[in-house]
Structure 1
Amino acid sequence: MTERDDLRTAPPEAEASPSPAPTGTGAPAWVSATTPAVFVLLWSSAFIAAVIGTDAAPPLLLTFSRFAVAGLLLTLVALVVKSPWPKGKPLLHVVVTGLLMQAVQFGAFYTAIGAGLPGGVVALIQGFNPVLIALMAGFVVGERITRQQWLGFAVGGSGVALAVAGALDFSTGAIVLSFVGLLGLSVGTVYQKRFTQGVDVVSGTALHFLASAPVMLVLTLALEDPEVTDWGAFGGSLAWIVLINSVGTFLLLNFMLKKQAASRVGTLFFLTPAVTALLAWLVIGQTLNPPAIAGLVLGGAGVLLAARK
């Protein structure tokens, strides 16, 4: 039986059961239990760092710098721990995944933020990710989506739509770009779940960045004036984005995708808008209007419905 057959015919219990990691031993139970909460907090912080970074440098330059530094750092880690590197067709799948989840997603998100769209609003748009993942995972990966999960997706998606509706006074182009970034993340997540399950997490994530960096370099040279206006803010933002968001969150994301169904991992993105809004208020003083707050409440209710067994 092929890997495709396994994914399509596995019962619901098998979909969420842990699969052996390519390297190392299995993680302790408390690590798996706390990983989702840590992931949501760290992923949400990326939007705050992006606001600070795009105030100090053009968005595509920031994106290129993120990919280049993170790719080199993770390559060194992979060499030290002797992670196996994919070859042939698996390598091609890893490159495609990286371009979708990194270049498309963050190139679009950072450009939208650089155009003035608040980081919290971008996080709200990204909250549609579970809905798109659920739709694609059912057809591509063969994961079974329950009625309760669909109800949770509907409630959560309605909450995100309500919150985004309160931000339509911003640039329409920036909002469109945010949805382009959302599409890159969603397609990349399902593609990774379907085609790169056997790839080592460290080397695979390193290749995501290494494949995306040249694309961003060409774009920043062609479309921007790559000049940094505030090196302190740029350096601090880049350090946080690379060490915490690029390396930490994507290793956690890849780890969770190996342990759980893609649709269940996707529900975590319903929580990021609320956490991002809280961080934006605490760190940079951004606030949300009443429709956005109501949308966050609906989004939280949706994730509770979708995540319950």
Structure 2
Amino acid sequence: MPPVFYSFFVPALFVWLWSTGFIGAKYGLPFAEPFTLLLIRMLLTLLPLAVLAWLMKTRWPGWRGAGHLAITGVLVHGCYLGGVFYAIDQGMSSGLVSLIVGLQPLVTAVAAVVFLKETVTRRQWLGLLMGLLGVGLVMAEKFGGGAGGTVSLSALTLLWAGFALLGISLGTVYQKRYGTSVDLVSGTMIQYSAAAVLFAIGALAFETREVQWTLQFKFALAWLVFGLSVSAILILMWLIRRGAASQVASLFYLVPPVTALEAFILFDERLGPMAMAGGLIAVAGVALVVVTGPRKAIG
């Protein structure tokens, strides 16, 4: 196949799949509570991954490595997905949720400075400030009641979105600090299993666990399982083997605008001029950080 297929199409497909996770949540949440939906998603995802692990004769880590993977799973999948789904369930638009959690590279850069003693360039600090400014503009429009400001934006939804952002950011740093060269399939299974335990506790403690098995719910669940939790991982594995993981990282900042476009087409979720300008500024800020990742401190 031509080089452009590897350098652009497949990474772009991965980003598109990732962006549809917010849309899948929007379609599925009217028929099941967040933790219940996520628990079902995790359990169904483990089945095809188990088959894949058996076919590929996957290597499994030791107990110490599995423990680190479990913590990463709770943070990256448990806290992140739980926060995103609850924010959407409580009324925050999928486009706005994706914008907030899309600042993950920025927060991760700060966390890396604090916990990993990494240095950040002036260009990256500029990106951090631009990201915060962009989100600030979106928030100002939402609270100000401008165009697109009629959504249900409350302190609770912001708390859940911030919880998701913090979870995936700390999980990324933890993985970088304690990560091992474990097989991606077995590592993903351990992470999903740990997240499933968290979702089971949440569903049992706080939810009714009632599910309406409508056609829309089944379709949304199938997409979340096979389109996101399985296919996106398989594409990531393929990209890493092709040596294109850096291209995937550089495209992650495209997720918020792609999600916003999908939400506009499917749900008529609108952003006013100030919010759109804020989104563009935030995307540019994330790009400044991601394109030139933080360097290790010397000495």
Q: TM-score, normalised by structure 2?
A: 0.83
Give the distance between the partners of 2:4 and 2:72, measured in 1 at CA.
Answer: 28
Moved more, 150-159 or 69-78: 150-159
> Which residue among 251, 260, 270 is the counterpart of 1:277?
260
Match of 1:125 in 2: 100
Query: Equivalences for 1:188-267 in 2 at 5 Å?
Result: 188-250=171-233
Aligned-residue identity in percent: 37
Find the counterpart in structure 2 of residue 23 from structure 1.
none
What is the aligned partner in structure 2 of residue 54 from structure 1? 29
For the 8 Å contact 1:133–1:266, the answer to whether it is kept is no
Aligned partners of 2:14, 2:120: CA distance in 1, in Å? 23
Aligned residues: 281
Q: Compute the RMSD of aligned alpha carbons.
A: 2.8
Quote the offset at 1:266 in angstroms: 6.3
Instruction: Pick closer, same or farther for the CA change 1:32–1:188 going to 2, 3 Å.
Output: farther
Structure 1 residue ranges without an equivalent (≥5)? 1-27
Distance in 1 (CA, whole Å) between partners of 2:118 and 2:231 is 27
CA-to-aligned-CA distance 1:249-302 (integer Å, 9 cap, x gap)? 34556787896999x976644322211110111222222222221111112322
2:279 corresponds in structure 1 to: 296
Query: Which residue does the alignment assign to 2:89?
Result: 114
Question: Which residue of 11, 16, 20 maps to 1:41?
Answer: 16
What's the counterpart of residue 79 of structure 1? 54
CA distance, structure 2, for counterparts of residue 238 and residue 286 of structure 1:
22
When structure 1 is superposed on structure 2, of 121-130 and 152-161 the one drifting more is: 152-161
Unaligned 5+ runs, structure 2: 144-151, 293-299
Report what 1:100 is aligned to.
75
- TM-score, length-normalised on structure 1? 0.81
| Aligned CA distance change for structure 1 residues 140 and 32 (closer, same or farther; 3 Å) | farther
CA gap of 1:123–1:308, structure 2 versus 1, over 3 A, is closer
CA distance in 1, matches of 2:237, 2:208: 34
- Structure 1 residues 219 and 303: CA distance shift in structure 2, 3 A: closer
Change in 2 beyond 3 A, CA 1:276/1:43 = same
Q: Does the 8 Å CA contact 1:101/1:184 hold for their aligned counterparts?
A: yes
Counterpart residue identity of residue 174, structure 1? T
Deviations 1:187-246 (A, max 9, x none): 111211222241111111111111211221221122111122352111111111111211
Matched residue of 1:271: which SS? helix
Query: Could you give the per-residue CA deviations for residues 19-66 of structure 1, whole angstroms, max 9, x where no partner exists?
Result: xxxxxxxxx895365554233211111101101100121111111111
1:83 counterpart SS class: coil
> What CA distance in whole angstroms lies between the structure 1 residues aligned with 2:95 and 2:21?
10
Corresponding letter in the other structure for 2:163: V
1:85 alignment partner, SS class: coil
